Each structure stands twice: as structure tokens, then as C-alpha cells.
Structure 1
Amino acid sequence: MSGETIVGALEPKADIAEPAKPARVDSPLKRLAQDFFADRLAVFGLCLFVVIALIAILAPWITPQNPYDLAQLDIMDGGLPPGETSFATGGTYWLGTDQQGRDMLSAIAYGLRISLVVALVSLACAIVVGVAAGVAAAYFGGRTDSLIMRVVDLQLSFPAILIALILLALLGRGVDKVILALVIVQWAYYARTVRSSAIVERRKDYIDAARCLALSHRRIMFRHLLPNCVPPLIVVATVQIAQAIALEATLSFLGVGVPITEPSLGLLISNGYDYLLSGRYWVSLFPGVALVVTIIAINLVGDRLRDIFNPRLQS
């Protein structure tokens, strides 16, 4: 055998195909994050909401005054315009004060706390009640479905603000009363949303397979049926947070929401409404701006989530 033949035999074959690498499959959560962060407006809304939430959470440590502590209020500082100096402490009120000498910057931060706490707690409670009712209506059907959905239809036929006003007129003022009223007002939205999705999922093969395995109704509903109804629930929950904040502000503005000793954004706007045209615009203007910015930030996030989870809106 010649040298050229030996060298040729030792050289690697160029036409031997290498084994194909398995395709990389991203997790649903990663795909959701990629789709969400592809929209700059939604990212801006999320960042803005995070900043607002941090201001509300850190309010006791970053604000110069506790607006709920009457001992820290000085009537001599009442009605000071933005940028004025306190007569008592010498500090600067960057957003001015109201007629009680309450620092508007501190009051807005604490008001955001109340608005977000009321919205999030009522959201969690309403989701629990609404999801349980919606899944039960879709899974059992028949009279159970008819009874639950007739109650839902009856409640949704009335304006939410009207139901909340009636409930608070009976229950009285207070943060817990407002949360209870919002739960009663909002649970029907989640019940209808979950039911519509659960009816579609109930007809699929994996539900029939779970029934053939003699699994309990509770396990089938909450371990198999409910997880596939989460995407539309997330969209509705995001929208309802903004509506809960707006509804709480409306109730407080009308004087039936939170007590006057714990002013929320709506109550702050109401306190300065009478002075809006008399030169003290800042008492109502700045809380109103904070309320609008918060709702816009949440709606920007909710609109993007709606586009992601709705296949009809996909390009």
C-alpha cells in the first residue's frame, strides 16, 4: 500500500454528518417575558407601577411627615403653596400643604398605600370567590350553572358604583368595609371569565381521562381544569386592579369610603375640591395626578397582557 493511500485512509471523512443538536424549547414563562418586554410602552408602564409601589411601601421611611399622626400637623403650616418653608420645622413642602397643615407629598405616598392595599386585598378575595363559583358552574353544569350565572347576571346588570354605595351606606365607613364592598362588586367578573374558559376545557380529553381515573371533583376542578383558565384570568385581574383603585377613590371622594383620619387619594382630592378655584389648586391637583398616573401604568400593563394572551390579536 502506497503512502498516499495510507494518508488518505487516516484523514477524517468530511461527509460524515454530525448528530443534530436538540432544538431549544423555551418555557412558557420565558416566552411570556420576551413577548411582554418587546413592547416598550408596556415596559414603561411596568416600571412606573413598580416605582409607585415602592413609594407606597417605603412611605414611612422616605416621607418627612406622617399625615395620619395629628401630633405632627401644625395649623400654622396650613395652605402653604408648593416650595414653601414650614413655620414650625423649617422644612420645605415641595408639593405644598392642605388646610390642616398636612404635607401633600407625604399624604400622596400614604394615600397610594391605602389605594394599593385596598385594591390588592379585594382583588385576591374576589378572585378566590369568583374562581370557585366559575369553575363549579362550568364543571357541574345544569342547575348549579344556571343558579350561579343568574346571580352573576343580576349583579352585573347594576352599576358597580351603585352597589358599592348601597353596601357602604349599610356597613359604614372603614378600610375593611371598602374591601368587602369591592369584593362583592368584583367577584362576578372573575366568575364569568373563568366559566367561559372552563366550559371549553371541560370538553377536552384530559378531563375525561381524569374522570376515568376516579379522581375527586375538587382535584379535577382545581388541579386540572383551573390551571388552563389562568391566562384570561390574569388579563381581567390586571384591568380590575385599576378599576378597584378608581372605585375606591370615587367612594372616598363621595365621603363613604375610608375614614377622614386615613385619607386616600380620593379623599385628598375631595378635601381640596372646594379650594380648587380659590388659588389652592395643589391640594386636589397633585393627588389627582398621582391617581391618574397609577391607573394609566396598570392599564398599559393590562393592555399588553391582553394582546399576548388573545390569539386573535397576534399578528
Structure 2
Amino acid sequence: MSDQTLPAQKPRGAESPLRRIIAEFFESRTAAVGLVIFALVAFVALFAPWISPQNPYDLSQLDIMDGTLPPGSESFTIGTYWLGTDVQGRDMLSAIMYGLRMSLIVAGTATLLALAIGIATGTAAAYFGGWVDTLIMRIVDMQLSFPAILIALILLAILGKGVDKVIIALVIVQWAYYARTVRGNALVERQRDYISAAQCLSLGHGRVMFRHLLPNCMPPLIVVATVQIAQAIALEATLSFLGVGVPVTEPSLGLLIANGYSYLLSGRYWISFFPGIALLITIVAINLVGDQLRDVLNPRLRK
């Protein structure tokens, strides 16, 4: 009997980490639904200027006679107001699309900037230790001892209104979460042999921290960043609702909810109701994705 060459078989568990993470993520139908909803929200927000029935913040497209029309009302200008209009005659569907766009821009920008600051400070605290670690972590502890909304209100009272001011306030509020997370993981990785080997090769501190130490601390940061995006969206909406966030000339879900708050008792519920539902759906979808990412990247936390 002649020998036959058997085809090489891929050993079990040899699949790429990215494929494993994707496969485990989609094991949860709830997380998959959350991801699909968030992708749809992001698509609508990104292409709002092209797919919305009107530009709700262009005065030339508004008609005061269309103010507070209920959902399903007809109009001679844009057709049917599927979600009704507000007091200024803005199409609520278009206003929600633009509001989602503003929420994702503000939250995404603030999260990226806060993540960069938190990574740099947290990694430096764990790597250098000593007085650097003590100074950074005392600042982090002091900031985290106060509610985020309180710090944001104080900052905006000093800085004033504006989209850029809201982003600055959210960055200052959020960076401490990332600094504490990355510092806790970096302290463990700091004791590994590969860090000692890199130091023995006389590599620079920056290269050791960001080429060798930081990549092994990223999985928890991804989960924290996902949760913080949802928190940033909720915080921006809260600040705008209170009148200290985005100016009234800019789209915001918080402003839309605030505009219809005084009309709830008169039966014109749609002015606040639909923006609130859009805000709730977006935050819940992001949290569903974040919960599954936490379970996939850290199986010990799996329920």
C-alpha cells in the first residue's frame, strides 16, 4: 500500500484573533441587533444633509404656518410630516437626523481626544511610577470623586456655549476614565519579561510604552470607549436640554426635547417624544455592543 500524502489540517485554535472576536461577538443576537441599529443610526446621521426631507435649520425652508402639525400631516412644501413639526415648523424627522449627526460628531470627537490623553497619562503613570504615578492618579481620583455632569456644568459656565466648548468639557470629564483603565492594565504588563527585554535593548521610553506596553492594554480600553461614547451622547443631550450646551442655532436632540417640554401637557407630545426615543435607541444600541465586547474581550466577565 503506497503512502498517501494527507492534506495539512489547520490546528484547532489557530484562527486569527480578529475572526475569533467577530465570531464570538455575533453569537449574541442582541449584540448583533444593537450593532445593526447603531450602523443604521450612523448612516442616517452621516448622510442627513442628503437624505433628510428638509434642512430644518435653513430659515428659507421653514413655514411658520406648519408649526406644531401632528404626525402624518400633509404639507405643500416637502410632502408628509411623518413625525410632525415643532413650533417653528421644522420637520421633526429631519431635525432628528441632524440632531443625531451632531450627537455622534460631538461624542466621537470628544471620545477620541479623551482616549488619547487618557492613554498617554495612564501609560506614563504605570511605566515611570514614583511621583509621576502619584501625581497623575491623585488628579484622576479627585476628578472622579465629582459627578461628571457637575464638572461639565462648571466648565461650560466658564467657557460659554458652543460645540467646541462642549467637546472640551466632555474631554476633560472623560479622560480620567481611560487613564485609570490603562494604568491598571499597564501595571500588570509592566512586570512581564518582554518589557524587561525591551529595556535591556536600550530602547527609548516612548517606544517601549507605545510599541510594546500599550498594545497589550487595548482590549479593556475598547470596551470603556464604547460605553463612554454612549455616556458622551447622553451628557451632551443633557447639557443642551439645560441650555448650557449646543447653541439654539445648532441641531441637538437635547434642544429638541427641551423645545417640546412645555407643550407636553397640551397634547403636542411628538415634539419631545420622538427625539427622546431616538436618543434612547442610540444609547441602548451602543450599550448592547459594549456589553458583548466586554464579554468577548474578557471572558472572565461573561455571565
What TM-score, normalized to structure 2?
Answer: 0.97
Alignment CA distance shift 1:71-1:22 (3 Å): closer
**Is structure 2 residue 62 aligned with structure 1 residue 73?**
yes
Partner in structure 2 of residue 133 of structure 1: 121
Partner in structure 2 of residue 54 of structure 1: 43
Deviations 1:167-211 (A, max 9, x none): 001111111100000000000000000000000000000000000
Partner in structure 2 of residue 152 of structure 1: 140
Report the alpha carbon displacement of residue 19 of structure 1 after superposing the two structures with TM: 7.5
Partner in structure 2 of residue 63 of structure 1: 52
**Is structure 2 residue 228 aligned with structure 1 residue 240?**
yes
Partner in structure 2 of residue 226 of structure 1: 214
Amino acid at match of 2:181: T
Alignment CA distance shift 1:81-1:22 (3 Å): closer
CA-based RMSD of the aligned residues comes to 1.4
Amino acid at match of 2:138: R
Partner in structure 1 of residue 155 of structure 2: 167
- Determine helix, strand or coil for the equivalent of 1:272: helix
Partner in structure 2 of residue 5 of structure 1: none
Amino acid at match of 1:102: R
Checking the alignment, whether the CA contact within 8 Å between 2:73 and 2:81 is kept in structure 1 is yes
- Determine helix, strand or coil for the equivalent of 1:92: strand
Partner in structure 1 of residue 289 of structure 2: 301
Aligned ranges for residues 1-315 of structure 1 at < 5 Å? 12-13=1-2, 18=6, 21-23=9-11, 25-86=14-75, 88-89=76-77, 91-314=79-302
Deviations 1:79-131 (A, max 9, x none): 10001112x52621110000000100000000000000000000000000000
Report the alpha carbon displacement of residue 64 of structure 1 after superposing the two structures with TM: 1.2
Report the alpha carbon displacement of residue 274 of structure 1 after superposing the two structures with TM: 0.1
Deviations 1:125-184 (A, max 9, x none): 000000000000000000000000000000000000000000001111111100000000
Answer with 1 or 2: which has the greater Rg.
Answer: 1
- In 2, the alpha carbon distance for the partners of 1:179 and 1:274 equals 28
Amino acid at match of 2:150: L
Partner in structure 2 of residue 3 of structure 1: none
Query: Any unmatched runs of 5+ in structure 1?
Result: 1-11
- Determine helix, strand or coil for the equivalent of 1:211: helix
- Determine helix, strand or coil for the equivalent of 1:262: coil
- In 2, the alpha carbon distance for the partners of 1:22 and 1:126 equals 41
Amino acid at match of 1:223: R
Amino acid at match of 1:120: G
What TM-score, normalized to structure 1?
Answer: 0.93
Alignment CA distance shift 1:185-1:285 (3 Å): same
